[in-house]
């Protein structure tokens, strides 16, 4: 079950569309959907989590806590709406183009995709693009 939570004044438009898209992605990667919570927040909220739980004193657009067991995907995915907006501006794309990439990024991590090396990051980006194309249909 996918649940969207809000710790800021942002609200996702068409939650059902996103929920179905995420579920389809999980199934296409050969996994089962468990409990996935998306928490949309601001930079301050996410920075506090980054320092407290990961010992990183930096801003980030996403932090995911993976509770996956075997093929059952579960976790909490925190997204800073402020960071997504800033990243979109830096990339010269719209917020609505950047947000799906960040949303699916967390789930792809749960499916085993990494992004620490250049090669892994390239594979992650290809998967993000593959699934963003599905969402846009």
Write the CATH number for 74. Answer: 3.40.390.30
Q: What is the pTM of this model?
A: 0.91
Q: What is the pLDDT of residues 43-63, one digit of tens each?
A: 999 999 988 887 788 888 999
**Structural domains counted in the chain:** 1
Please report the pLDDT score of residue 58 as a whole number.
80
Residue 76 lies in domain: 2-136
- Was 47 annotated as part of a binding site? no
Computed over every residue of the chain, the mean pLDDT equals: 93
In angstroms, the CA 35 to CA 125 distance is 24
- Was 109 annotated as part of a binding site? yes
- Was 56 annotated as part of a binding site? no
């Amino acid at each position: 079950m996918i649940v969207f939570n809000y710790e800021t004044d942002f609200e996702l438009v068409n939650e059902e569309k996103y929920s179905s898209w995420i579920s389809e992605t999980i199934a296409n990667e050969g996994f089962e959907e468990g409990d996935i919570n998306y928490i949309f927040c601001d930079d301050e909220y996410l920075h506090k989590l980054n320092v407290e739980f990961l010992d990183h004193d930096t801003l980030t657009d996403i932090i995911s806590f993976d509770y996956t067991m075997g093929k059952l995907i579960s976790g909490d995915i925190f997204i800073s709406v402020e960071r997504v907006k800033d990243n979109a501006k830096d990339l010269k794309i719209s917020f609505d183009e950047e947000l799906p990439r960040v949303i699916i990024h967390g789930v792809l991590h749960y499916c085993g995709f990494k992004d620490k090396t250049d090669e892994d990051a390239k594979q992650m980006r290809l998967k993000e693009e593959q699934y963003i194309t599905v969402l846009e249909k």
